[in-house]
Amino acid sequence: MKYYDKLIFELSKDGRCGYSLPAAQFKGGTDQIASGLKREKPALLPQVSEVDVVRHYTNLSQMNFGVDTGFYPLGSCTMKYNPKINEEIAAMPAFGALHPLQPECTLEGVKEIYDAMEKSLAAITGMKHFTFKPCAGAHGELTGLMIMREYHMRRGDTARVKVIVPDSAHGTNPASAAVCGLQIVVVKSKADGLVDVEDLKPLLGPDVAGIMMTNPNTLGLFERDIKQIAALVHEAGGLLYYDGANMNPLLGVARPGDMGFDIMHLNLHKTFSTPHGGGGPGSGPVGVCEKLGDIAADLQTSAFNGNFGVILRAYAYILMLGRQNVRMAGKLASLNANYIKESLKDAYKLPIESVCKHEFVFDGLINDGGTQEKHGATTLDVAKRLLDYGYHAPTIYFPLLFHQAMMIEPTETESKETLDAFIDVMHKIAAEAAEDPAILQGAPHNAPITRPDETAAARKPILKYQDEALQS
Amino acid sequence: MAGFCYFPHTEDDIREMLRKIGVNSLDDLNSDIPADFVYKGEYDLPDALSEQQVRDFFEGLAAKNTVLKVFAGAGAYDHYTPSVIPYITSRSEFLTAYTPYQCEISQGTLRYIFEFQSMVCALTGLDVANASMYDGPTAAAEAMRMCVASARKKNTVLLSEGLLPNVRKVVETYAKYSGINLEYIVLKDGRTSLDCLKELLKSGDVAGAIVPGINRLGIIEDLTGFADALHEAGALFAQYCDPSALAVLKTPAEWGADIAVGDAQTLGIPLCYGGPYVGFMACTQAHMRKLPGRIVGEARDSEGRRCFVLTLQAREQHIRREKATSNICSNQSLMALWVTVYLSLMGPEGMKKVNDLSYAGAHYLYDKLLETGKFRKVSDAPFLKEFALEPLVDAKALQNVLCEAGFFGALITEEGYVTFCVTEKRTKEEIDAMLDVIKEVK
Amino acid sequence: MSKIIDGLYYSESHEWVKVEGDIAVIGVTDYAQAEMGDITYVDAPAEGDEFGKGEEFGALESVKASSDMYCPISGEVVEVNQDVVDAPEKVNEDAYGAWIIKIKMSDPDELSALMDAAAYKALTDK
């Protein structure tokens, strides 16, 4: 990767253009609109030619790391390979030209895809119905919690305003609950990383709408007591919500619907191989049990019917996977995670010794190289050093249960050779830390930039090109 | 095990890895899952297909839809997509990256988001924009929440009846569960009524109002007096806008708005049955800290080079958890790139031209439809590319006849009007052909 | 070891209070600023806002954290320290000099429920 320091605005020259539009066929134009309704000055947009645009964005792309560039062991993000046939299908002009409101009789193929997706996701998860409106995982969570509240409201039970969330939960869980008007009650984890059933019991009552669970949880551990938890929550009149962020190890292995979950979301951009796009678009369909089907169908939480383009990609993946290959997906994801865990626990602290699912958490280096005189290398330093070796970093400082958390998720699409190479580098980094932590603390050394001063950036924010001119 | 192109493991690999882990079989890795939850049945999924079969399958499905000449809008507009855009957005360095958490190897993503924010600010005239929202309606819902979060102890937000039906529906859904009270500002002569707004402000509980720049009847709203009325009442003014039209129309900043939201689908994103699109959200400096979602800022690296980082993150869900303004984390980043490339190609002149072509085509169609004697004017207010007429023929039948002839137009509004929309993509031949069909409608 | 000053009142949520007549000058303790790291933003209330004892009156932000500030005493905000809002690093540099708000106390008796320096030291040593 090489450093490239332009913004598109800096390539601009008055009078240059990059568009190609037809000649006017009719008289008139926006000059006929009263001046009181028009902007005073043209917007500050760049004036560049087509080749400027292509080179600029190609140069930008070369400062980016993606799954196609290299191994991306980012915990809880399921950075599996994004098949190229998916892209080909989503780009078919015959789908791109469809207006979301055009008459149903012209959309038979679209309807078939949604129906087939619902049927497939139901088979994989054990839920009965799906809504495809949510555009991302957090959006799915929010939609799912709205379904939970609506269920209680329709029964006339308005006292249920609390939702229970484990202390190991993704940050989105409490945030989604709050947006949905629910108060958050935290249930503790035990030393083995699993939800403490004894701590849960007294929290349940007539004011509890339900519980949000991630299973396996953010430590990559399967919540073995799920049967008992489901029974307790249901007995207390609550519903169980399944956060599908960690569904990947259960793909072809186990179904949340069978465990007693009433509502769940899936991240099609994780479990179902669609690309993350640098932070979206994703898709977060929500599955529900039989009795919640009508409510799920009623809730309008996005513009039309969700990110259709992403749903097309996910269905292409399901067709490639089929009933024959699905059985191996989750198992291989767990195999890869356990293999890395067992191979590196001699150099990195493993706080919980247990078989993991698709991911696991280390709590920093065993020997960070720290002495009386100098600080040891932190998880952040390890992460930054990995960039030098051509790897993306794991998720760091999450979950919050450990101070030096380093969450690693390899996914099933990585080969033993890729994992072995990563393991070698992680050992090499541990050795470097023990010898001289400064090597890590100064990392990355080979990336397009070194570490930025984020504090200065947050104190005096420059958030658009126009601000830059003001500062200088 | 038969080979599968996305799983690289050989039998030997699996055996060696299991040995290293110290278990005997793959199933042993799931020994922590209670036996009754390990799924033993046959998955009710289709048979695995080859890549060619997958392609054939989708080509077959595509053929079961009918692609129509689009003369409708209502939140999804058929503007032209320059060929450069999909070429750039399909570069896998952009496509297969995650959210730019490791900024040192994500400068590509961070830079285009910074450019996107700059362009949203340029179009809206406002000070700060975020890295994108899911779509226009959810951005409007976030604007509603932002109004309430900014106003201490006020809990009502006003919505114009001129907002698109799906915008209102989504905002209503969010409001219901957030416990926010919504009230409607009526349309008068096709425009959002300032008198009605002033009346509603008397309650003293209004935290803000969301009003469209162009309403669902296609009318360009005159928002003179809205900002003053709202600000005097201590309420925020949020404008819902079409960013394409903002290249020519008065900006939210010029109208005195505190917040601007909308859907940037109009900036060259294909219709694609409703998504992925991309919402945008901008606000004045004063409200920057309440703006939801990711924001990219400029920084310097340790060697003094200009670089870009996710900034002001203390507002976000992964830090604030239940106290965050919003729960959004994934947004529509790649679609923000789509829009950024579009605006780079178009520039100020191209954007003016797109609006001129759409305006001229829409006004030609409008005049010709009135000439058929099958429609009546509903307003004399100015419009840009979308407009409403009162049909003197059966609206549903009209829509059906058009559909059979390969056109999608005459969307029926809640008052029983029909709307049409013309973009720069529609040719005179297409418009005349549709008019010929309409002339025959009884 | 964080700095604690005699003669101030302290809250469990790490605010300090200095009494000047019927005015309470309020800031965050040295312990709190050290826990936060480099402070990037001080979210302060507006003059004229009223807060009850224990009510949230603002927040501090660093790059990776956010922490609410709770009003140790009831009353109306009569002054906000604009210098600190403009330069949040002042809280890191001198937590006891960088006061954040001044409150006209509505019930000075509430002071008796706050800790003195010794009690606060015991709390932070834990």
Whether pLDDT at A471 is above 60? no
Q: State mean pLDDT over B16-45.
A: 96
At C1, the pLDDT band (50, 70, 90 cuts) reads low
Whether pLDDT at B257 is above 90? yes
All structural domains of chain B, each given as residue ranges with its CATH number in brackets, are: 11-53 (no CATH), 69-79+347-439 (3.90.1150.10), 84-340 (3.40.640.10)
The least confident of A468-472, B362-366, C102-106 is: A468-472
pLDDT of B308 reads 98
In C, residues 84-123, which contact A (CB 8 Å cutoff)?
Answer: 88-89
Q: What is the pLDDT of residues C26-44, one digit of tens each?
A: 999 999 999 889 999 999 9
pLDDT of B252 reads 98
pLDDT of B413 reads 97
At B2, the pLDDT band (50, 70, 90 cuts) reads low
Neighbours of C79 (CB within 10 A): 14
Whether pLDDT at B113 is above 80? yes
Q: State mean pLDDT over A349-373.
A: 95
In B, residues 210-269, which contact A (CB 8 Å cutoff)?
Answer: 220, 222, 224, 246-251, 254, 263
Which sequence spans correspond to the domains of chain A? Answer: 8-61, 84-321, 329-456
pLDDT of B325 reads 74
All structural domains of chain C, each given as residue ranges with its CATH number in brackets, are: 9-110 (2.40.50.100)
Nearest Cα residue to A90 out of A69, A108, A113, A67: A113
A338 contacts B64? CB cut-off 8 A: no
| Nearest C-alpha in C relative to B289 | C43
B152 contacts C66? CB cut-off 8 A: no
* Mean pLDDT, chain A, integer: 96
At A324, the pLDDT band (50, 70, 90 cuts) reads very high
pLDDT of B329 reads 85
B107-124 and B333-371 helices, crossing angle to 10°: 30
Please state whether the predicted TM-score (pTM) of the whole model is above 0.80.
Answer: yes
Chain B residues whose beta carbon lies within 8 Å of the beta carbon of residue A340: none
pLDDT of B323 reads 73
Q: What is the pLDDT of residues A196-213, one digit of tens each?
A: 999 999 999 999 999 999
Residue B351 has what DSSP assignment? H
pLDDT of A295 reads 97
Whether pLDDT at B247 is above 90? yes
Whether pLDDT at A30 is above 80? yes
C41 contacts A455? CB cut-off 8 A: no
A465 contacts B114? CB cut-off 8 A: yes
Chain C residues whose beta carbon lies within 8 Å of the beta carbon of residue A455: 38, 40, 62-63
Nearest Cα residue to A8 out of B259, B347, B97, B184: B347
* Mean pLDDT, chain B, integer: 96
A123 contacts B273? CB cut-off 8 A: no
At A470, the pLDDT band (50, 70, 90 cuts) reads low
Q: Do A387 and A378 touch, CB atoms closer than 8 A?
A: no
Whether pLDDT at B365 is above 80? yes
A39 contacts B332? CB cut-off 8 A: no
What CATH number should be reported for the domain whose range is A329-456? 3.90.1150.10
Whether pLDDT at B352 is above 90? yes
Q: Do B207 and B148 touch, CB atoms closer than 8 A?
A: yes
Q: State mean pLDDT over B345-366.
A: 98
Pairing status of strand A263-265 against strand A239-242: parallel
Q: Which residue has the tokens 């949230």?
A: C56
Q: What is the pLDDT of residues A417-429, one digit of tens each?
A: 999 999 999 999 9
Q: Sort B2 into a burial class: Cβ within 10 Å, 0-12 / 13-18 / 19+.
A: exposed
C61 contacts A455? CB cut-off 8 A: no
pLDDT of B410 reads 97
pLDDT of A400 reads 84
Q: What is the pLDDT of residues B145-159, one digit of tens each?
A: 999 998 878 999 999
At A292, the pLDDT band (50, 70, 90 cuts) reads very high
* Percent of chain B at pLDDT exceeding 70: 99
Q: Do B260 and B124 touch, CB atoms closer than 8 A?
A: yes
Most confident of B226-230, B329-333, C3-7: B226-230
Please write down the long-range contacts of A51-57, taking CB distance under 8 Å and 24 or more positions apart.
A52/A8, A52/A11, A52/A16, A52/A18, A53/A8, A53/A18, A53/B84, A53/B88, A53/B341, A53/B344, A53/B345, A54/B84, A54/B87, A54/B88, A56/A6, A56/A8, A56/A11, A56/B344, A57/B88, A57/B91, A57/B112, A57/B337, A57/B341
Q: State mean pLDDT over A126-140.
A: 97
Whether pLDDT at A472 is above 60? no
Structure tokens at A81: 């390979």
Whether pLDDT at B34 is above 60? yes
Q: State mean pLDDT over A273-283.
A: 97
Whether pLDDT at B361 is above 90? yes
pLDDT of B330 reads 82
The ipTM (two decimal places) reads 0.97
B17 contacts A48? CB cut-off 8 A: no
A458 contacts C63? CB cut-off 8 A: yes
Neighbours of A288 (CB within 10 A): 26
* Mean pLDDT, chain C, integer: 92
CA distance A406 to B228: 52
Distance from CA of C38 to the nearest CA of A (A): 7
pLDDT of A120 reads 98
Q: What is the pLDDT of residues A384-416, one digit of tens each?
A: 999 999 999 999 998 888 999 999 999 999 999
| Nearest C-alpha in B relative to A153 | B177
CA distance A465 to A470: 9
* Percent of chain C at pLDDT exceeding 90: 85
Q: State mean pLDDT over B367-395.
A: 97
Q: Do B295 and B311 touch, CB atoms closer than 8 A?
A: yes
| Nearest C-alpha in A relative to B4 | A325
Q: What is the pLDDT of residues A217-263, one digit of tens each?
A: 999 999 999 999 999 999 999 999 999 999 999 999 999 999 999 99
| Nearest C-alpha in A relative to C40 | A459
For chain C, the residue count is 126
Residue A313's contacts (CB-CB under 8 Å, 6 or more residues apart) are: A86, A87, A89, A90, A268, A272, A273, A274, A275
CA atoms within 13 A on the CB side of B256: 15
The least confident of A177-186, A444-453, B324-333 is: B324-333
At B18, the pLDDT band (50, 70, 90 cuts) reads very high
**Residue B6 contacts A where some CB pair is shorter than 8 Å:** yes
Q: State mean pLDDT over B234-255.
A: 98
Nearest Cα residue to B32 out of A360, A350, A164: A360
Sequential DSSP letters for A373-415: SSPPP-HHHHHHHHHHTT-PPPEES-STTSTTEEEE---TTS-
What CATH number should be reported for the domain whose range is A84-321? 3.40.640.10
Residue C117's contacts (CB-CB under 8 Å, 6 or more residues apart) are: C4, C5, C6, C7, C8, C10
Distance from CA of B156 to the nearest CA of C (A): 20
Nearest Cα residue to A67 out of A48, A53, A87, A47: A87
pLDDT of B3 reads 84
At C126, the pLDDT band (50, 70, 90 cuts) reads confident
Closest CB from A255, A301, A306 relative to B170: A301
